[in-house]
Amino acid sequence: SAVISQKPSRDICQRGTSLTIQCQVDSQVTMMFWYRQQPGQSLTLIATANQGSEATYESGFVIDKFPISRPNLTFSTLTVSNMSPEDSSIYLCSVGGIQGAAGELFFGEGSRLTVL
Amino acid sequence: AQTVTQSQPEMSVQEAETVTLSCTYDTSESNYYLFWYKQPPSRQMILVIRQEAYKQQNATENRFSVNFQKAAKSFSLKISDSQLGDTAMYFCAFGPNFGNEKLTFGTGTRLTIIP
């Protein structure tokens, strides 16, 4: 398994500002993903965080709005830029490729953002 | 693209009873994974049970079991002897293949266990 720590756990932000969410894993992992969970909704994949290269974004998500860094195999950040109330969501970091857990994703506790 | 459908937005059941949550999916793949994840109010997504499509035997984990019908593309979760701690959102998820953990999630079922 993997232990994933996310910071901040929650935050209240003003419209037009940006916030960076950190994700730290207790072991090296090949795959890291960022998901968004809007209030009462399911999980939507934002992007795959690639170590040493640009993230791979899903349809509807762009780098200018959600820049992602992944400097090594245990750490990633997601920035939510120029926030609006529509960005109020839970943002979840997840990892995969864990030995003995084929196909399975492990999740952090999520970061709940509220944009006023 | 794969789709996952959960047709029961909310369910409730008395403590100690059995409840079944439904999930259907659509894919053209022949080998894949299916998962049930639980998200309690604390928000931490926790894996409940997994099923590999190539296995005919239904997966079981203690009080949790699945009914996997590959031809019908159905993957239901049965919770036996339900407990208060089972109260949570339950998400069905599809995984395309080993080494590709880009899961597709259903819309979830909110399960409430009534004391």
Mutate to test the interface with A, among B36, B39, B43, B51 (most CBs of A within 10 A): B43
Residues in chain A closer than 8 A to B33 (CB atoms): 102-104
pLDDT digits (tens, 9 = 90+) for A60-79: 999 999 999 999 999 999 99
Q: Do A107 and B44 touch (CB under 8 A)?
A: yes
Chain B residues within an 8 Å CB radius of A59: none
Helix (H, G, I), strand (E, B) or coil at B82: coil
Q: What is the pLDDT averaged over residues B93-104?
A: 79
pLDDT in tens, B45-78: 999 999 999 888 999 999 999 999 999 999 999 9
Judged by CB atoms closer than 8 Å, whether chains meet at A104 and B43 is answered as no
pLDDT at residue B99, as a whole number: 60
Q: For chain A, say whether B97 makes contact (Cβ under 8 Å).
A: yes
Model confidence at A9, pLDDT cuts 50, 70, 90, reads: very high
pLDDT of amino acid B98: 61
- Candidates A105, A106, A112: best to mutate against B (most CBs of B within 10 A) is A105
* Averaged pLDDT, A50-56: 87
Strand partners, A78: A21, A68
- Provide the pLDDT for residue B30: 85
Alpha-helical runs (H) found in B4-66: none
User: How near does any CA of chain A get to the CA of B20, in Å?
Assistant: 20
